[in-house]
Structure 1
Amino acid sequence: MSFSLPYKYITAEQLADLIKSKPTSELKEFAVVDVRDSDFVGGNIVSAINCPSDTFHANVDELVKKLESVPKVIFHCALSQARGPKAARIYAETRSHALPSSSSQEVFVLRDGFSGFQSKFRHDPELIEKFNKYYHD
């Protein structure tokens, strides 16, 4: 019996390239969903949507509608070991029930989460905003 996850992993470098590729059209090519709770303070990936894990179930239907036409959705938490992958799975399952015939969407989890991303890119204002090293060192 094989079990496949409803998401793939994306590395910090791949996400950085995606963010910096700045699409010229108004259509969003991707969305970053940050499911950290109180640990959201102290910085985030530019343009990330904060959808805290403690209220994720209550808000997932709204998120599916909001991101319906976005080709790539990338989830993460601090380390992307529990909250990020769980949110990605719930989102993918909810989306497949709510929009069974809609266009395909790729769901990703950011490998090593925000901690890994900020450790590589914290000094790049195109990638990280509101950074405060007090929360991360």
Structure 2
Amino acid sequence: MGASSSSSSPKYMSADEVAELVTARPKRDDFLIIDVRSSDFAGGNIPGALNLTTREFGSEQRNNTIATHIRPRVPPLRLLILHCMRSQTRGPYAAHLLAESPSLPEGVDVRILKGGFQGWYRQFKGRKEMFENLEGADAEWEEGVMAQEGSTREAEDSRRLREGR
């Protein structure tokens, strides 16, 4: 097991719990949201989320991700929250890899956003402070966000990962 303070399988956090962190005043800097969406990232994201696709969580890349985005943080990170579109495939996969990494600093809790970006969007649609980069959001974008698993609108890397390729 890696250095994570959580059990071997990362736990989920609700959108409300993540929203409390995102909207806290004064702003908290001991957590990081990592959005692992790829082609489905464009059009909007949770404020402050770092976009790192699942390709960046292979063993060598994962160590680079930890060295670049996690270890140098001051104050130290205490919480990593990962998600993809629905937090069913890519987000949990990347969270598990991070939680199991011996390079992860001691005391960092790895969590998964329950419902992913799709759940976040459903819950907070219309609240501009809960999103960044929504400029390109239109009906077609929203259709992609709301697409079901396995639809033709699903990102290819999600489909490949689910199918074990």
Which category of TM-score, normalised to the shorter sequence, fits these structures?
A: 0.7 to 0.9
Structure 1 residues 112 and 24, CA gap change in structure 2 (3 angstroms):
closer
Equivalent residues in 2 for 1:27-42, closer than 5 Å: 28-42=29-43
Higher strand proportion (structure 1 or 2): 1
Structure 2 counterpart of 1:47: 48
2:10 matched to 1:7? yes
In structure 2, what residue type is equivalent to 1:98? Answer: S
2:68 matched to 1:62? no
SS at match of 2:129: coil
SS at match of 1:85: helix
Residues 23-56 of structure 1: CA deviation (Å, up to 9, x unaligned): 457xx12100000110001111111000011333
CA distance in 2, matches of 1:24, 1:110: 19
CA distance in 1, matches of 2:89, 2:27: 34
Percent sequence identity over aligned pairs: 33
Higher deviation after alignment, 6-15 or 31-40 = 6-15
- The equivalent position to 1:136 in structure 2, one of 137, 142, 159, is 142
Structure 1 counterpart of 2:147: none
CA distance in 1, matches of 2:133, 2:82: 19
CA distance in 2, matches of 1:123, 1:62: 36
CA distance in 2, matches of 1:59, 1:49: 15
- The equivalent position to 1:119 in structure 2, one of 113, 122, 145, is 122
Structure 1 residue 59 displacement after superposition? 2.6
SS at match of 1:9: strand
Structure 1 residue 92 displacement after superposition? 1.1
CA distance in 1, matches of 2:25, 2:79: 14
| Runs of 4+ deviating beyond 4 Å | none
Structure 1: any 5+ residue segments left out of the alignment? Answer: none
2:21 matched to 1:18? yes
Structure 1 residues 108 and 124, CA gap change in structure 2 (3 angstroms):
same
CA distance in 1, matches of 2:141, 2:17: 25
Structure with higher Rg: it is: 2
2:86 matched to 1:79? yes
